[in-house]
Structure 1
Amino acid sequence: MEYAKPHDASVLDDYEPNTEEERKLVRKIDLYLLPTIWLMYLLSYMDRTNIGNAKTAGMATDLDLDSDKYSIALTVFFIGYVVCEVPSNMILARSKPSIFLPTIMFLWGCATIGMAWVPNYKALIGLRTIIGVLESGFAPGILLILSSWYKPEEQAKRFGVYISAAILSGAFGGLIAGAIEQNLDGAHGLAGWRWLFIVEGAATAGWSIIASFILLDFPNNTKRLSGRERELAIKRLQYSRPAITDDDKMGHLKALKLAVTNWRTWVFVVGYMAVVGSSTLSYFYPTLVLGLGYTSSLTQYMTVPIYLAAFVCTAANSIVMDKKPQYRGYALGGWMSLSMLCAIITCVVYNFQARYALLVVMASGLWASNALSLAYASTTFGSMDHEVRGIALAIVNAMGNLAQIYGSYLFPDADKPKYLMGFGVISGLCFTGVVSYLAMQLLLRRYPH
């Protein structure tokens, strides 16, 4: 890898920042990437989390699932998901996102449809494992794409848009689950929860085909931009951060070694594991809300305000943090502290209405932290070689999602209605996140490169 000074004239030639030409290019990049990625991720997250809606809609009864079996069904998804993330990004860094990502999306959409016909618990485990392996390439791939197209000061808003899809998928998932349970239950002899998998899986497979005609590849190989636009896209990134010459001859093993031996990777791993481990709470929103005493279908609708509040907080936070990127570590410490406080209070407050309000605030802090932590990692890794950056981001995302394996055991049925273990662990994870991101803020001031 060869590093160049950020403003080296020999590298940047006649580049001038923030021209009308550049603003027009950014709008064009946004138009190609953001709506496509947003809907892809919304459908991805719905396919990943719809098992929570299906559980309360009758799947647990039909397949004879107790809380241990349900936790295992959650866990097997993340085993394949975590193991395959890094290899997937190593492949993606040397291929075309417009082919790779829609292909795996189409396949997991078909597997989701297959969930509608699972006859028993073993079949459920098998398909959840397959979907986990297929989805493993999506999230780290999107992280690599966004970090390859946007300047550091542009990324918080874009990652906010990306994460908002996961947030709103929870809201839409609840609305769709409620509507399907009410209107399709028993249609053609299939239970409502089975129709949930059919509808959402078909939407995923259908959109993957459309996305393959829209999604951008990388700045140096996309065919959807002109030669001049590709040149400008590369120059503006070189200007905004320590320029780096990607080494196509580096090799996968050397790239992996550079990513693994960078201390920044592991500080972000600890912080993101805290964020994601705490966010496994989202899989239990329907279960926790059911404790309020609502009917099954109304429970699906009552999860919607949780996600809408999280969406507003994430959007506001992303806009502010692009204007004040130097304070991202402090902001993450603040959001995680807020969620930690709510988790602690929940352990001592047993009024369900009060707990619901605390759940709304807690979720807002965790979702805002999720989006900002990804933007923070992406910009910090900005000076890395293309493949090294892809591997580092995949490691952070993979290890972060490793937390979902033990997080899926935080709210067993035996702990209801107080769920003290779950909220106690979440408060501890939030504290770990606070320490990690504040440490990163201070360390990057001393060791910026």
Structure 2
Amino acid sequence: MALDDKIRHQHHDDEVGLPHSVNRDELVTPEYVEGTPDEAKLVRKIDLRLMPTLIVMYIFNYLDRTNIGNAKVGGMQTDLKLTSSDYSLVLSIFFVGYLIFEPPAVMILARTRPSIFLPAIMTAWGAVSVAVKGIDSLGGMLAFRVVLSLLEAGFFPGVMLLLSCWYKPSELSKRIAIFYCGTILAGAFGGLLAGGIIDGMEGVGGVRGWKWLFIIEGLATVIVGVVAFFTLPDYPQNTKWLSEDERRLASMRLIIREDLDEKMPYKKAILLSIRDPKLWLFMLALNVILASGTVSYFFPTLMGALGYKGRMVQFMTVPIYAVTLVINLAMGFSADYTRQKAFHVIGCAGLAVLSFIICAASTSFPVRYAFICFASPVTMFPGRERRAVSVPLINGFGNLASVYGSVHCGFATMTCFMFIAGVTAFVVKWIWDDKGLERIDYAAQERQEEAERRKI
């Protein structure tokens, strides 16, 4: 092997966690056999040590972001004298900050340790949530949402990046589905917590109940963030609860599917990612799905419009998330089992289109409530440098939809959005094989083009 190749491979080994003492040439031979009992045991161990921490972190990430909907019907809108437009602005400004801060945040994570970066930003946004106690104006709430977006921007794409460094593509769908259960559980229990806290803590210490909601959930977030410092792993090569053989196997599993890109600068990673047409199709699909997803911020308001009062406004959001939990898990496991992810997206988009049409056309409150439940499951949802660019670009661009989605959240509009999402998934399926969207090594192409230019 040439010296340049060895250097390039060493950079890659550092990325996927391959121990320096391991002979790389041995890893690309039939020595690695997929689906062995040892690999199954390793994956179970990773699941038990990695997934619970991430799920609990995501529960509080979602609670701290969406409890504003519960606070709105709990007295925040009246106390801060917010109009409907003001409330939409409070929602929208969060996603503007998310779009701006997300890519650099994840690039920082790609060069640091997840066990430090993710708990640190979590502890920080929990502390910021506690500070809501002092907010008494629209300006203060807008400032809070901007700071919250800055701190939360790196969390979700950072988790996706971390999962991709531990699991093979064929294993990711069900893990991501399980991870998404964090938002669903947060939504379900968030309504119960909000109902209890807002009513039970009203006026305690001279503080309104909706402010106690932010304070209590913020303090809980800080505690979880501190615990995560000690429980969240980094990458296979530096995880102490794996034996040497397990670290070797964890690296071998990933080396098979990794491209051999050298560690590249941020600007180059952006250019290579932008050249990938799949990136733009995924951006479009996520954009329209998340535009519809802003309906979740209005669940308490919708329950009030359906005639529920007091605590029941908060409690009636729980069944929506229960239905979402079942469908989410079923779709995630089915997508991994069949390896037909595009068809699952198309099917879920079709269900959402049907549900939104019925919600728009029906004047029956029970019918609308039932089909809001069925619409919610869809709408709630390279080398490390290239993944670190592509993931936040897709997620950030998708969250941009929440800016206009929070203003135009009519059922008819959401029907159109979900139809576009289904068509986009069909186009992706038609162009690329869903069993493994072809990996185009743009870095290798660039090196070849550079070599040809030198010959000329």
Same fold (TM > 0.5)? yes
TM-score (norm 1): 0.89
Deviation at 1:119, TM superposition (A): 1.5
In the alignment, does 2:246 pair up with 1:229? yes
1:68-79 paired onto structure 2 within 5 Å: 68-79=85-96
2:40 aligned residue (4, 13, 23): 23
User: Equivalences for 1:130-169 in 2 at 5 Å?
Assistant: 130-169=147-186
Deviation at 1:9, TM superposition (A): 6.5
1:400 aligns with 2:414: no
Q: 1:38 matched to which residue of 2?
A: 55
The CA distance in 2 between the partners of 1:448 and 1:81, in whole Å, is 30
For 1:261, the equivalent position in structure 2 comes to 275
Larger Rg: 2
Give the whole-Å Cα distance in 2 for the aligned partners of 1:222 and 1:410: 46
Cα displacement (A) at 1:10: 4.2
- The code of the aligned residue for 1:429 comes to F
Q: Is the 8 A contact 2:51 2:179 kept in 1?
A: yes
Q: CA RMSD in A?
A: 1.8
Tell me if 1:339 matches 2:340.
no
- State the TM-score, normalizing by the size of structure 2: 0.88
Structure 1 residue 361 and structure 2 residue 359: aligned?
no
- 2:235 aligned residue: 218
Distance 2:40 2:364 in 1: 51
| Residue range with higher mean Cα deviation, 93-102 or 252-261 | 252-261
1:437 aligns with 425
Q: CA deviation at 1:230?
A: 2.0
State whether structure 2 residue 321 is matched by structure 1 residue 307: yes
- State the partner residue of 1:324: 338
- Give how far 1:334 is off: 0.9
Offset of residue 293 of structure 1: 1.3
Per the alignment, residue 386 of structure 2 pairs with 388
Give the C-alpha shift of residue 111 in structure 1. 0.5
Q: CA deviation digits over 1:138-175, x for unaligned, max 9?
A: 00100101111111221111001111111111111100
Paired residue for 1:111?
Answer: 128
Query: Which residue does the alignment assign to 2:294?
Result: 280
**What is the letter of the counterpart of residue 336 of structure 1?**
A
* Aligned residue pair count: 417
Q: CA deviation at 1:223?
A: 4.1
Structure 2 alignment gaps of length 5 or more: 1-7, 13-23, 440-456
Paired residue secondary structure (1:57): helix
Structure 1 residue 280, shift from structure 2 partner: 0.7
Letter of the structure 1 residue corresponding to residue 392 of structure 2: A
CA contact (8 A) 1:343 1:427 kept: yes
Aligned to 2:77: 60
Aligned residue for 2:259? Answer: 244
Matching of residue 95 in structure 1 with residue 112 in structure 2: yes
C-alpha contact (below 8 Å) 1:291/1:352 kept by paired residues: no
The DSSP-based 3-state class of the residue aligned with 1:149 is: coil
In structure 2, give the amino acid aligned to 1:448.
E
In structure 2, distance between residues paired with 1:279 and 1:71:
14
Question: Deviation of residue 65 (structure 1)?
Answer: 0.8
| Percent of residue pairs bearing the same amino acid type | 40
CA distance in 1, matches of 2:429, 2:171: 19
Which range moved further: 23-32 or 67-76?
23-32
SS in 1 for 2:231: coil
Partners of 1:108 and 1:151 in 2: CA distance: 31
Correspondence for 2:450? none
Deviation at 1:237, TM superposition (A): 1.9
* Contact 1:109–1:205 (CA under 8 A) maintained in structure 2: yes
Give the Å deviation of 1:19: 2.2
Task: Encode CA deviations 1:298-324: one digit per residue, 9 max, x unaligned.
Answer: 100000000010001101111111111
* Per-residue Cα deviation, 1:106-158 (whole angstroms, up to 9, x for no partner): 00000011112212111111111100110001001001011111112211110
Which is further off, 304-313 or 348-357? 348-357
Query: What is the Cα deviation at residue 245 of structure 1?
Result: 2.6
Kept in 1: contact 2:106–2:154 (CA 8 A): yes
- Mapping 1:287-306, distance limit 5 Å: 287-306=301-320
| Cα distance in 2 between the residues matched to 1:296 and 1:439 | 46
Cα deviation for residue 186 of structure 1 reads 1.2
Query: Which region of structure 1 is more displaced relative to structure 2, 340-349 or 394-403?
Result: 340-349
Kept after mapping to 2: 8 A contact 1:246/1:386? no
Give the Cα–Cα distance (whole angstroms) in 2 for the partners of residues 89 and 259 of structure 1.
Answer: 14
Following superposition of structure 1 onto structure 2, how do residues 156-195 of structure 1 map, counting pairs within 5 Å? 156-195=173-212
Q: Which residue of 2 aligns with 1:448?
A: 438
Give the 4+ runs in structure 1 shifted more than 4 A: none
Q: Distance in 2 between matches of 1:116 and 1:360?
A: 33
Matched AA of 2:101:
C
- Residue number in structure 2 paired with 1:409: 407
Counterpart contact for 2:289–2:378, Cα < 8 Å:
no
- Indicate if the aligned counterparts of 1:335 and 1:366 stay in contact, CA closer than 8 A: no
Deviates more, 1:216-225 or 1:337-346: 216-225
Q: Can you list the C-alpha shifts for 1:414-448, whole angstroms capped at 9, x where unaligned? A: xxxxxxxx111101100110111111111113972
Q: How much has 1:224 moved relative to structure 2?
A: 4.1
Tell me, in whole angstroms, the C-alpha distance in 2 between the residues paired with 1:87 and 1:291. 40
